[in-house]
Structure 1
C-alpha cells in the first residue's frame, strides 16, 4: 500500500517541531520525504529528552518514515546535489528565517528556474514581510502577539502556558500542509509551482475564529472569563471530591437538562443560557461535583449524553476504550527487529495507509543511498565526505 500522497517527493530542510510535524503527516500519507540536515548543527530535537534506547522519543516520532541526507549547505558542492535532487523532488519545505535560503543560493526564484513545477513552502514565525520578519519567536510569543493569550486563562491569575504548541502545530504545521496540498492541486491544472509563505503568527491569529469575528464585526472585545467558551459561563472544569477534574460542555438545552437531572438539580437547567445567572450556576454545579469522587461521577455520566467527561492523564487517555478502538497508537520498527510505540496518523482513509516503515533515523543515515541514486560514484561520495560536504 502506497498511500494517497505516494506521488509526492519532498525535500525537508526544517527542524524542531513545525516543519517536521508537517512532513510527518505527508510521510504518513505516503509521500517520500528526504530531510536535508546540517552535519555541523544537528537538529536540537535529536537530543530532547526523554530517550528510548539512546534515541530522543520526540525525534523518533516526528521523523518516522523519512530519509536523512547530511549536507553542509554552506559548501559550494552542496548546491549541485540540491539541483540534482530537484529533478525529482518538486516540493520543498524550509523553516529558516527570511533571506537565509537566498543567501545559500537556494531561494525560490533560483530553484524555480531549475524546476518551474517546484512548490516551495516557507514556514516562519512572522512571515516573509513586515517589521518582524527577521525577529526570533516561539509558540508562546505568537499566541501573545496575536491576541489569543489575552482571553486565555483566569481573570485573577492571567494567561496560562498551553500544554501543546498551538501556533507551531495548528499554525505552522497544519496550515503548511493545507497550503502545500492546495498548491499541488493548482499545479495539476497550471503545470506551475509557487511559493507559499506560512507565518505561524498569521495562522495563530486566524485561530481567534469566534472571538475575532465578534470583535471585528461587533466590537465585542474578548477578555479572560468573559466569553461563553473561556470560563465566562458554566462551560468549564469542575473539581471533584478527590481532587480530580470533570469537563462540562453541556451547551445545548437538552444536554444542560441531562446534566442537572443526573446531579439531582433539575431546577438549575433553566439558567443554562442566562448570562446573568452564570456565576451562581457555576457555584451550584461546583458544589454538586465536590460531593462525588471522579470514579463516581464517571459512572454517573457513563450512560448520560450530556457532554460531561473526566480530565484524564495521558496514561489514562491511552487506556480509554474510545482511543483504543480508534487505534491511536502504532508500533514503528526501530531497524533492529524491535519496535517503538508511537502516536499513529490520526487520519482514517477507507483504503488505508501504508504501515510505518521506521522511526526517525540517525543523522545522514541515507546519505550514501541518496547520492548513489543521483548517480554519484563511490569515489565521488568519498571525496565529498573528505571535503566535509557530507557527513
Structure 2
C-alpha cells in the first residue's frame, strides 16, 4: 500500500535541519517532495562529517526520499519556474527570514494568487511578527529565550548544551508537520489553503508543559534540581563503577519498592515517597553509593527482570542494537542511488494500513533538474 500522504505534493525550499527533517517525515509517509536548493549556496548538511562515499550522512538521512532541483532563486526566470511548479503542488515549506521569499517574487500572496488552495508553511526562529522576527538565532538561543534552559541542568554547572536540537526538531520540524497536516484536513473540508507561521521559539516555549503551567498559573518558577523530574528527587542518573550511567525513574511506590529491594536498601522505601528534601537527599546518596559498586552490565543483569523503571544510558550505536528498537524496526537499510544501502534511523510512526517507506537516501544537488 502507498503511504498515507501519497497524494500530497510538497515544494521544499528549506535548508539545514528543521525544514528538511519535517519534509523527510512527510516523504517517508508517502508525500512527493521536491527540494529546491541553490547550486551556489551549499547547504552545510551536505558537507558535515562524517562522510560516506564522499557525502555527508546528515544530508543522506535528512533528505531521503526527496527529489532535488538545483535552482538559484535570484537568477532571472527562477521565479517563473517556481510559479509554474506551484500550480501542481499542495504545500510550500520554506525556512528563510521573514520577507525573503517576497523579495524573490515568490512569497505567499503571490503564490496564493496562482494556487488559491496552497498551504504555505514558513519556519523561522522567532516567527513572522514581533521585535525579534528578523534576528538570527540557533537552537540554543531559542531554548534560552523560551525559558527551557533555565530549569535544566545542575545548580553548579548551569544549563547543558543538548546533544539533540530540541527547538529545531521537537519545535520546528514536528510542529510544522502537525500544522501542515491540520491545514490539509481543513482544506479537504473547506477547499481553502492557508499560511502557517512556525516559530521555533514559540514551539520551544510550549514544550515547557508542566513547568510552564506551574509558573504561569501556579506562581512557582521551576529552577534546576528543584522538582520531581529535573533533579530535585532521586529521579536521576547515577554513575556505575565502570564510568557508565544508569537512569532511575522509579517514582511510583510499586517501582520504588522494587528499586530499594534490588539495591538492598529496603529501609529507604519510605524516603523514596517522601517530599522532605532531607529524605530525598538521603536516598539519592544511598543510590549513588550503591550503584557505584557495580558495572553497568552487572546492573543490567540485576534489573533485567525487575520492573522498576531502571534502564542503562546507551550510546546511539548500542541503542540501535537494543532488542526493543530492533523489534520496532527503528534501524533500516535505505537504498543508495548507485546500488547498496545505508543504515539510517527508521520512521517512528507505525501505520497498520499504509506503512511508511524510506525509498532512497538524499540525492545529489540537482539530480532531478532534467525533469523540469
TM range, normalised to the smaller chain? Answer: over 0.9
Q: 1:339 aligns with which of 331, 336, 341?
A: 341
Note the alpha carbon deviations across 1:178-204, whole angstroms, 9 max, x for none.
000000000011101000000000000
> 117-126 vs 341-350, which deviates more?
341-350
Does 1:172 find its partner at 2:168?
Answer: no
SS of the residue 1:347 aligns to: coil
Q: From the superposition, tell whether residues 212 and 355 of structure 1 become closer, same or farther in structure 2 (CA, over 3 Å).
A: closer
What corresponds to 2:187 in structure 1? 187
What corresponds to 2:274 in structure 1? 274
What corresponds to 2:290 in structure 1? 288
Cα distance in 2 for residues equivalent to 1:49 and 1:286: 37
Query: Are the equivalent residues in 1 in contact too, given 2:350–2:356 (CA < 8 A)?
Result: no
Aligned ranges 1:132-143 → 2 under 5 Å: 132-143=132-143
Count of matched residue pairs: 370
Shift of 1:27: 0.0
Cα distance in 2 for residues equivalent to 1:295 and 1:315: 16
What corresponds to 1:13 in structure 2? 13
Aligned ranges 1:114-263 → 2 under 5 Å: 114-263=114-263
Does 1:47 find its partner at 2:47?
Answer: yes
Cα distance in 1 for residues equivalent to 2:121 and 2:179: 8
Q: What RMSD in Å do the two structures reach over aligned CA positions?
A: 0.9
Cα distance in 2 for residues equivalent to 1:338 and 1:296: 39
What corresponds to 2:314 in structure 1? 312
SS of the residue 2:319 aligns to: helix
Cα distance in 1 for residues equivalent to 2:273 and 2:38: 56
Query: Please, which runs of 5 or more residues in structure 2 have no aligned partner?
Result: none
Q: 1:365 aligns with which of 345, 364, 367?
A: 367
What corresponds to 2:299 in structure 1? 297
Q: Which runs of 4+ in 1 moved over 6 A?
A: none
SS of the residue 1:178 aligns to: helix
Cα distance in 1 for residues equivalent to 2:90 and 2:313: 44
Cα distance in 2 for residues equivalent to 1:69 and 1:319: 36
Cα distance in 2 for residues equivalent to 1:90 and 1:242: 54
Q: Scaled by the length of structure 2, what TM-score is found?
A: 0.98
Cα distance in 2 for residues equivalent to 1:301 and 1:354: 34
Query: Are the equivalent residues in 1 in contact too, given 2:30–2:357 (CA < 8 A)?
Result: no
Cα distance in 2 for residues equivalent to 1:275 and 1:300: 28
Cα distance in 1 for residues equivalent to 2:54 and 2:354: 32
What corresponds to 1:90 in structure 2? 90
SS of the residue 1:327 aligns to: coil
What corresponds to 1:378 in structure 2? none
Q: Scaled by the length of structure 1, what TM-score is found?
A: 0.93
Cα distance in 2 for residues equivalent to 1:29 and 1:7: 10
Shift of 1:29: 0.2
